[in-house]
Structures are given as structure tokens and as C-alpha cells.
Amino acid sequence: MAFSDRELSAADLTNAQQSWIQCSSRKSCNNLPPGAVTGYEWKDYCPKAFRLIQELDNIDNDDYMMLVCSDETIRKVTSISRPGNMFLFSNDTRFAIKTLRKSEVKILLEMLPAYYSHIKRFRNTVLNKLYGVHVVKPAGCTKTYFVVVANIFKSDLLMHRCYDLKGSLQGRKPEKMQYRDKTLHKEPDLDFLFYLEPMVRQRLLKQIQHDCAFLEAAGIMDYSLMLGLHVKGSPKGCVDSRCSSNGMRGFDVELHQSDLASHRSSLSLYRDSINKCSTGASFPNYEASEMSFGEQWLESNSQTSKFGEELSARGVRILRNGSGNALPCQNFTVIGCYDVLLCFGIVDFFQNYSVIKKIEHAYKSLQFDRKMIAAVNPKIYSSRFQGFISDIFKADESLT
């Protein structure tokens, strides 16, 4: 039986939590890579359990430890003042590292057996993979808790836009997180609908339903969909520096006159389907500054790749009419269509509906719609989140 085929045992979840490793000299740290920081305390939570998860993704544990224990990683992790405020990355960009509060570590470890069973059963899960939880305490410093996860954007593709989406506009903090050199935009900046092959969309929504059911059963809320968008054929210079203040990004690419007819024809495929879900949507006259689909529908790679790994789609860029709304399919103008590749995953599932969250819900309910604020119970959160995902991922009826 392969190591990753067996189930977690009680020993896998408890044995690793008994002692700290005091790395006061190189001789006492033979398992650490050359150049690693010494003079710190290090603790692995449930290493056997996380090794099982690593093996599901063919990750060599020795290589993993070499990256996580590097001098640069330890210094960066311990220099972060606010837990969860930013992401760090391993040198090979395979792994993302995020600091956690001690309470979040406790929640993560409590759901670890069920999480392992879930990702083993659903290999196409959209939940972000968790590869390890650690604590480091350099001499004279406080403890830093952190989790190592899969890098959602590990693809070599340039992500032209990145989002952190909860499906709620109300009551969220306005500041935006950084993910490497990218800003994670929130719902007010979401100006795309994504059209998938109907069968792919059906499978994707079904998988997200399974994932959200797991999180709901574990009492988890406040998670996000991290989504990266790569526009096929877009010039490399087309990045956030060219974005206007209202959240519309500069994806404009010149077209030859011979492409205009194809462009208008491609856009017409979406008029009927978009009108079904939108009231008052309008379609402007398209000029030569807009981008065409160019090639026909990208060949679907959903049969060979996991959901969230360069998923082919058609992106319809929209301009909202009136005030913003968490559900984009309300009242908007279509301003462009693109062949896109999407990288995404559900992240930050370390928060339960605690007493603090219940107080936050009561307080923000006095200012906003109580059903639309971020702090709601796991059942409502799951239902709203799935509805939001269904609203931004549409079926491309032209492919049926």
C-alpha cells in the first residue's frame, strides 16, 4: 500500500506536537539545509499527516523542507507584524506561505482529518492544498505560526488581473492584499463574466458544491475565491499600471480591419445568453481599439488538468451601470470579449463562526443588509458563496 493510500491515525495527529526542536548549532540541525537559520525553535504540526497530503501531489518531503527552512524564508516569515496580512513564496514559487493566528492553527488542525479525506476523495477539489503548518521562534523573538499552501498562480502565465472574492461587498475592509507583485482586487473591481463549456461549468459548480458542503460541516466561513486572469494575446505591458481609478483595466489591443467582422460575430454569440441574466444590458458600437477572440474557442484541457489550473474560458468584460453590486449580472454594458485562461482556488478557510464573528455580525447588521455582510453563519455563507460563483461563471451556449 502506498503511503498516501492509508487513512490518518490518532498518532499522525498528535505525536508531532510533543516537543520543540532547539536549533542552537549546526550539529543539532543535521536535517536542515545548508544556509538555514540557526538559533531558533522550530515545530512541525502533524508532519506525518501533511506528508500524506504532499504525496497526493507528488511533493518530495525533503525538497519541501529545504525550501521552507531556507534562511530567506525564516527571516521573511518572522518579520511580518500582522498575521495573515500578506503572502510569501518559496524560491521556486511552488508554495505560498501565510502567517496565521494561533486560533486559526487550532481550527486548521481540528479539521485536518476531514480535510484529508475530502481532498483524497475529490481529486479535482477547488480547495487550496495545505502542505504543512509550522511554528518558528528565533532567539529573542516571539513565535510565528504559518501555513504552507499551494501557490494558486504557480503557472508561468502572466496574470493580468487577480481577485480575492467572497461574494459580498458590504462590511469588508477596503484595503487590498498583495500576492507577489499583484494586487488582489475585490468585488467592486470585478468587471468580467466568464463563459465556460456547459459540461465543464456543470462539473465545476458541482465540485464547488462538494467543497462548500465540507467547509459548512466543519463550521468554516469567511473563505475566498482567489482568481487570476490571463488574457490570450494581450501585450505584456498591459498590467495594473495602465488601469484607471474606477477599476477598469487597460486590456485594449489594436485590431486589423479584417478582424472586426470576426470580433462582432463573436460578441453576438453572447447577446442572448447575457440578456437572459441581465436587465438593461446594452451593447455599444465596437471600434477598432477593441480586442477580438482571434482564434476560435480554446481547446478544453479540463479532462487532463485539475480545476483552477489554466482553465480555458471566454471572458466578457463589463461596465456596471449605476452603483456596484456583488452580483455582477444585474445592470451593465458589455465592452469587450477575450480568450482567457483562469487560475483559481478557494483559500483562507481557517475561520469559524466564533463569538467575535457573531458580535461582528450583530454590529454590522445595524449598518448593512445582514444577509450580505461577510460575517454570517457557515450555512448562509456557503449558500451565498455558491450563488456568487454561479453568477460569474456562465455557460457558453454557443458550444452546445
Beta-bridge partner residues of 133: 45, 147
Report yes or no: 328 and 320 within 8 Å, Cβ to Cβ. yes
Cα–Cα distance list, 273 to 61, 200, 325, 387 (Å): 48, 17, 20, 18
Number of neighbours of residue 56 by Cβ within 10 angstroms: 16
Per-residue pLDDT of the chain (400 residues; tens, 9 = 90+): 454 556 666 666 654 443 344 444 344 444 545 545 556 788 899 999 999 999 999 999 999 998 888 878 888 888 877 776 667 888 888 999 999 999 999 999 999 999 999 999 999 999 999 999 999 888 777 889 999 999 998 767 888 999 999 988 776 666 677 777 788 888 888 889 999 999 999 999 999 999 999 999 999 999 999 999 999 864 333 333 333 333 334 443 333 333 334 444 444 544 444 444 444 433 333 332 233 333 333 333 434 456 778 899 999 998 877 655 445 556 778 888 999 999 999 999 999 998 988 888 888 888 887 777 888 999 999 999 999 999 999 998 876 5
Cα–Cα distance list, 170 to 28, 29, 131, 183, 324 (Å): 51, 49, 32, 20, 11
This prediction has a pTM of: 0.77
Cα-to-chain-centroid distance, residue 310: 13
Q: In what helix (H) or strand (E) does residue 103 lie, and over which residues does it extend?
A: helix 102-121
Residue bearing cell 518559496: 90
Cα–Cα distance list, 222 to 13, 152, 361 (Å): 25, 18, 12
Strand order in the sheet with 144-150: 21-23, 40-45, 130-138, 144-150, 95-100, 87-89
Strand order in the sheet with 311-320: 178-179, 182-185, 161-165, 224-231, 332-347, 311-320, 192-196, 393-395
Q: In what helix (H) or strand (E) does residue 206 lie, and over which residues does it extend?
A: helix 198-217
Report yes or no: 91 and 72 within 8 Å, Cβ to Cβ. yes
- Which residues have C-beta within 8 Å of that of residue 65, sequence separation ≥ 6? 31, 32, 33
Dihedral class, residue 335 (left if φ above 0, else alpha if ψ from -120 to 50, else beta): alpha
Instruction: Quote the cell numbers at residue 271.
Output: 447577446
From CA 370, how far away is CA 12, in angstroms rounded?
41
The pLDDT of residue 179 is: 75
Instruction: Quote the cell numbers at residue 125.
Output: 477539489
Which residue in 119, 172, 105, 163 sits closest to 350, CA to CA? Answer: 105
Angle between helices 198-217 and 102-121 (to 10 degrees): 130
Report yes or no: 240 and 178 within 8 Å, Cβ to Cβ. no
